Amino acid sequence: MQNKPDDLRVSDAEAGGRSVPKQAEDSRRGLFAMVIAAVFLGFVFGGIYFRNHPTPEAALRSFHMLYFNDDLKTWTKTSWLGVSAEKTPQDLWVYQEIIHETRPDVLIETGTADGGSAYYFATMFDLLGHGRVITVDIADSPTKPKHDRITYILGSSTAPETVARIKSMIAPGERVMVSLDSDHHRAHVANELKIYSELVTPGCYLVVEDTNVNGHPVWPDFGPGPMEALRDFLKVDSRYQSDRSREKFKVTFFPEGWLRRVR
């Protein structure tokens, strides 16, 4: 084999010495580019996947918002025996389960509106052959239904005279349940909780309605409301616990709002 001239051999050695680190650098650059491409594709395809396969929590939140925001076709069109009730069927079903299980003698409702909820409660008591409803509102609806088990009170739920009248209608030893569905602003709900939490019998429920507003998850611009008042209340009153088992139908307008008095 013919030998190369010395100057060419030196040149080859120098070239070889330079080629090793250059090849390694090119390899690193290629590997880095592959990693960047893989990460980018992961985000793209991962986003597509999760958009088409949302988590159960995301799907539930989306359905809750869809159901609430389409109110002219859904919850504002819910009625009981022809009377507007403006509640979800799931929440009404849970109410009847609680009434059957706890057998209250008196169910106090703040926020009568058209009387659909009071009428629903009264007919549940009809089926049980036991119980009555006391419902209070600042406005008098001309369409409210008449029922022997319903007593309507016109006035503010937090006014001393209203509270005194309600208390006078409860006999010693009677089991009491409460549903709060009037003014939903934080201060008012907090005041109702302070007042009516004293009337609920241990083992019975105090239901704080519409805790879903102010971004929980609907109506984000509402401002502090029932949920905020409820959470403040539970921080200082250990007699009550939020019974999350009552949210078994997944969609409820009262998340965290099914409060059971445990002592």
CATH (domain of 246): 3.40.50.150
Supply the pLDDT for residue 9.
46
Supply the pLDDT for residue 53.
67
Helical (H) or strand (E) element with 187: helix 186-196
Count of C-beta atoms within a 10 Å radius of residue 36: 10
**Is residue 186 a part of any domain in this protein?**
yes
Would you write out the chain's pLDDT as a tens digit for each of its 263 residues?
445 444 444 444 444 445 556 676 767 777 777 767 667 766 666 556 556 667 899 999 999 999 999 999 999 999 999 999 999 999 999 999 999 999 999 999 999 999 999 999 999 999 999 999 999 999 999 999 999 999 999 999 999 999 999 999 999 999 999 999 999 999 999 999 999 999 999 999 999 999 999 999 999 999 999 999 999 999 999 999 999 999 999 999 999 999 999 99
Supply the pLDDT for residue 42.
67
Do both 79 and 49 map to the same domain?
A: no
Supply the pLDDT for residue 5.
46
Do both 107 and 218 map to the same domain?
A: yes
Distance CA 171, CA 193 (A): 21
Tokens of residue 118, six digits: 């009071």
Distance CA 84, CA 117 (A): 8
Do both 141 and 217 map to the same domain?
A: yes
Peptide bond into 217 cis (omega under 30): yes
Supply the pLDDT for residue 51.
65
Do both 198 and 247 map to the same domain?
A: yes
Supply the pLDDT for residue 45.
60
Tokens of residue 137, six digits: 């509102």
What single DSSP character describes residue 58?
H
Supply the pLDDT for residue 41.
64
Supply the pLDDT for residue 25.
73
Do both 141 and 256 map to the same domain?
A: yes
**Is residue 202 a part of any domain in this protein?**
yes
**Is residue 112 a part of any domain in this protein?**
yes
Do both 229 and 198 map to the same domain?
A: yes
206 in Cβ contact with 200 (< 8 Å): yes
Number of domains in the chain: 2
Work out the burial of residue 216: count CB atoms within 10 Å of its CB; fewer than 13 is exposed, 13-18 middle, 19 or more buried: buried
**Is residue 100 a part of any domain in this protein?**
yes
Could you list the residue range(s) of the whole structural domain that residue 211 is in?
Answer: 75-261
Do both 33 and 157 map to the same domain?
A: no
First vs last C-alpha separation in the chain? 102
**Is residue 152 a part of any domain in this protein?**
yes
**Is residue 167 a part of any domain in this protein?**
yes
- pTM for this predicted structure: 0.81
Do both 27 and 113 map to the same domain?
A: no
**Is residue 230 a part of any domain in this protein?**
yes
Do both 148 and 18 map to the same domain?
A: no
Do both 181 and 104 map to the same domain?
A: yes
Do both 30 and 105 map to the same domain?
A: no
R_g over Cα of the chain: 32
114 in Cβ contact with 144 (< 8 Å): yes
Do both 229 and 161 map to the same domain?
A: yes
Strand ranges for 128-245 from DSSP E? 132-137, 150-154, 176-180, 205-208, 240-242
**Is residue 59 a part of any domain in this protein?**
no
